Amino acid sequence: MTTEQSPKPVILITGSSGLLGQALAKAFVKDYCVVGLDVKEPDEPPEGHHHIGCDLTDDEHVRNTLDNVRQKFGTHIVSVIHLAAYYDFSGGEGELYRTLTVEGTRRLIRGLQDFEVEQFIYSSSLLVMKPVDQQEKQKALTEQSPTRAEWMYPQSKLEAEQVLKEEHSDIPVVVLRIAGVYHDDCGSLPISDHIRRIYEKKLESFLFPGNKEHGQPFVHLDDVVECVTQAIAKRKELNGWELFLIAEPDTMSYDELQETLGELIHGKEWPSVRIPKVVAKAGAWVKDQLPGEEQFIKPWMVELADDHYPVEIARARDRLGWMPEHRLRSTLKTMVGHLKRDPKAFYESNGLTWPESRKEA
């Protein structure tokens, strides 16, 4: 059996057709032989990128895929970047959380035992962390902070981490618990929907059921790419099991985000009024039943409105030499600039439905 081994070191990316997967492929294709594994091909693969169809929910398909990798690229892999996972904003208990995110990770790490893998990078989520206590707002999350996954997406990520702990054997693992990823044109549904509500002057844009001084962490796509780049570059200096929190160190509060977007979009303050959670849940349920555009805000999200995630990233800075260069508060101006120049294009690129009131007759 002959192989077509590349003179460049091999990097394997699962979920390579997603936002982060495509960004990583473009960043690495010059210096590495990038092999992307996904059920679908990327929209705009960079020249030199190798795509292999792979369904991580199927035992035989994973075996055949890895045999294909072995035949074409050999058994030595510098880094496996595991991004493939299931995500559903509905909050439901989709079967793919288990068959793809959890058991897909198990199939992959078991199948890689026959390879010489220098490093396995797992893309986890900061949502697996327990938010800081409301009485301890100044205390930031660290890698030693407790976890508390309250819905299926973070639960599945946490379970997949445990799978890797149990099954990685001699393959060194780096777990990156990554905050919500955005880019200059937004790319984050929680942010783009917030922008949409204020842009359309929706009643709900003035209402919030949680503590306005609390906030969710985010990180720019380019900074995540740089973080992974640093993790690969320093792979020989890292331990067999490493965990890092990846986020901007200055989490914007809901109130700051609200006021900033109001000023950028309409040139004036956009106040928010705190409402009881029971009222917010009822309103979210009613809107979710109405025909037409699917609502982003679901009743189950209301209970999480008080969650607060300030993050300490000293470990990523010290061990990886990583510090994010971007900040959400400054990038919001760029996002809103794109919205104002071409609102329809902004809506389309972010998967938003153009409002009926603005459609041409």
**pLDDT tens digit sequence for 149-189:** 888 999 999 999 999 999 999 999 999 999 999 999 999 99
- Quote the pLDDT of residue 361: 36
Cα–Cα distance between 353 and 66 in angstroms, integer?
40
CA-nearest of 332, 312, 177, 167 to 243 is: 177
Q: Which pLDDT score, from 0 to 100, does residue 298 have? A: 64
Q: List the chain domain ranges.
A: 10-182+217-246, 189-215+252-308+328-351
Q: How would you classify the pairing of strands 120-125 and 173-178? A: parallel
**Per-residue b or e along 161-193, where b marks 16 or more CB atoms closer than 10 Å to that residue's CB:** bebbeebbeebbbbbbbbbbbbbebbbbbbbbb
For residue 44, what pLDDT is reported? 82
Q: What is the pLDDT of residue 206?
A: 87
Cα-based angle 176, 177, 180 (whole degrees, multiple of 5): 120
Mean pLDDT value across the chain: 90
Distance separating alpha carbons of residues 63 and 4, to the nearest angstrom: 19
CA distance 21 to 15: 6
DSSP run (H or E) holding 82: strand 79-82
* pLDDT score at 2: 37
Neighbour count for residue 47 (Cβ, 10 Å): 7
Each residue's pLDDT, cut to its tens digit, for the chain (361 residues) gives 334 566 899 999 999 999 999 999 999 999 999 999 999 988 888 888 999 999 999 999 999 999 999 999 999 999 999 999 998 866 667 899 999 999 999 999 999 999 999 999 999 999 999 998 766 655 899 999 999 988 899 999 999 999 999 999 999 999 999 999 999 999 999 999 999 999 999 988 887 878 888 999 999 999 999 999 999 999 999 999 999 999 999 999 999 999 999 999 999 999 888 877 776 666 665 566 555 566 666 665 677 778 889 999 999 999 999 999 999 999 999 999 999 999 999 999 999 999 866 654 3
Q: Where are the alpha helices (DSSP H) in the chain?
A: 19-28, 59-73, 96, 103-111, 152-167, 189-199, 221-233, 254-266, 277-289, 299-302, 314-320, 328-341, 343-349
What number does CATH give the domain 10-182+217-246? 3.40.50.720
Tokens of 243: 């965990």
